[in-house]
Homo-oligomer: A and B are copies of this chain.
Amino acid sequence: MRNLSTAAVMMLAALLPTQAAAQPEPADLLIVRGHVLTLNERREVIRDGVVAIRGERVVAVGGAELAARFAARRTLDARGALVLPGMVNAHTHASMTVFRGLGDDVPDRLRRFIFPLEKHFVDREIVHWGALHGIVEMIEGGVTTFADMYYFEEEVARAARLAGMRGVLGQTIVNFPAPDAPEPYGGIARARRFIADHRGDPLITPAFAPHAPYTVEPDRLREIARLAEELDVPVLMHVAEMTDEIANLRRDHNRTPVQHLESVGLLNRRLVAAHCIFVDDADIELLRASGAGVAHALVANIKSAKGVAPVTKMLAAGVRVGLATDGPMSGNTLDIIGQLGYAAKVHKLDRRDRNVMPAVDVVEMATRGGARALHLEDRLGSLEPGKLADVILVDTDSTAMVPLHDPYAALVYAASPRDVRTTIIHGRIVMEDRRVLTVDAAAVRARMRAITDRINAALAKGLPP
């Protein structure tokens, strides 16, 4: 425009709206007439809103008038629905759906039930079908990104790609023989291979997943920190979850788990620390300063009677906190909508203050917060131009959602995961009108039942537990 006179520029500018109307921009998907919760920095809400998607990205978000600007290949009518960013499940073990409901309400489950069950049963088939079933549940419940750590993690990745699901997936590393690696720490080599195989995948971010401070020695943690830096990948880990973890680290190293991770070079912007129940103010400051993410698995934490992570303090300090379900043998469900009410209410109880953790903060933690916890906030977590198009439509027509005085309160205090109508991941509709399009969910259920029958038959013969 440098050679044009000011008058000419003004004339052109005056013409632009007409030209825009005459030559609409292309879009692949236009979501119209929805009640849009952008979850952007200003938490903008648009009562009769439009979201325009081109390829895998959001290209525009605005009022009803925006629709005319686009010529879309497909238009979704979102009347009667809330339109918001897809939710992030910041920590789970999706494959464990096969064990869901086994051995609930018993003490010392990890060593008495979970580890033995995994030792005897976990194989490629269980990991794949268990993950696929869990991913179906997440898609149905409005989760569009999950962080997962398990064995045979490549089978979780295969399931995620099949379903069109986004994942930050970590191959587990432990100091004992694992279902997928007969040698202690065989997971390190597996993780390197897994990372090499999935580098650059549009949906999968591969990661290291050292199990916990009490199952991986400090030298190995240092090695993993170096490799993660070298390979530029995240590190997923259970942190400050168990009382004996705290006691033993204090005894052996005179450190808290967070201090321990700092000492081995893991406390940084690659880390996603699940749980963080037992952290003090100094730990919280370390978490904030390091830029580490925290996956808050409240429902699983209280079901196991462990306690309530001090998340109101973490949020006040500016720590990156997302919500998480933990595995379905710990929290039983994998959707995030089911976590929202607990997050709002249990923190009010814990702090004895009904003003803390208001509904809007909880929805933010489930979306934008989860993206921050996974270090993906440049790409995910809000409906804004340039972000990846992970979008959900949540019906407001179910009885519990009527009337709708406040959309955040309705989501947190009244919605069910079954209210999710449509789920879009990376610009692709993976569920529409409650029907998953990418996977035959009934066939997956049938396979799950066959696997369960096999497990139960083995358990009946006296295998553990």
State the number of copies, please. Answer: 2
Complex partner residue of A445 from B140, B402, B414, CB under 8 angstroms: B402
Which residues 332-379 of A have a CB within 8 angstroms of B? 332-335, 338, 341-342, 344-346, 348-349, 351-355, 357-359
Closest to A243 in B: B352
**A102 and B405 in contact, given A345-B299, A399-B137, A413-B332 (Cβ under 8 angstroms):** yes
* A438, CB-defined interface residue at 8 Å: no
**A416 and B414 in contact, given A102-B405, A345-B299, A449-B402 (Cβ under 8 angstroms):** no
The interface residues of chain B lying within 8 Å CB-to-CB of A333 are: 400, 413-414
Closest to A300 in B: B345
Distance, CA A364 to CA B171, complexed state (A): 41
What is the 8 Å Cβ interface bit string for chain A, positions 93-125, against chain B (1 contact, 0 not)?
000011111101111010000000000000000
B403 and A101 within 8 A (CB): yes
B399 and A441 within 8 A (CB): yes
* A47, CB-defined interface residue at 8 Å: no
Distance, CA A99 to CA B413, complexed state (A): 13
**A349 and B299 in contact, given A355-B105, A410-B101 (Cβ under 8 angstroms):** no
The interface residues of chain B lying within 8 Å CB-to-CB of A188 are: none
* A282, CB-defined interface residue at 8 Å: no
Complex partner residue of A417 from B352, B403, B416, CB under 8 angstroms: B416
Residue pairs across A and B with Cβ atoms less than 8 A apart, 12 shown, are A100-B414, A101-B414, A102-B405, A104-B358, A105-B344, A105-B358, A107-B355, A137-B399, A302-B348, A305-B354, A307-B349, A307-B352
Q: Besides A332-B400, A335-B400, 14 other CB < 8 A contacts?
A: A100-B403, A101-B406, A101-B410, A104-B406, A105-B358, A299-B345, A302-B348, A303-B344, A331-B413, A338-B416, A399-B441, A404-B452, A405-B452, A418-B419
User: Which size class do A's interface residues fall under?
Assistant: 35 or more
A359 and B104 within 8 A (CB): yes
Complex partner residue of A403 from B98, B303, B307, B342, CB under 8 angstroms: B98
Distance, CA A307 to CA B349, complexed state (A): 6
A361 to chain B, nearest CB (A): 9
* A397, CB-defined interface residue at 8 Å: yes
The interface residues of chain B lying within 8 Å CB-to-CB of A417 are: 400, 416
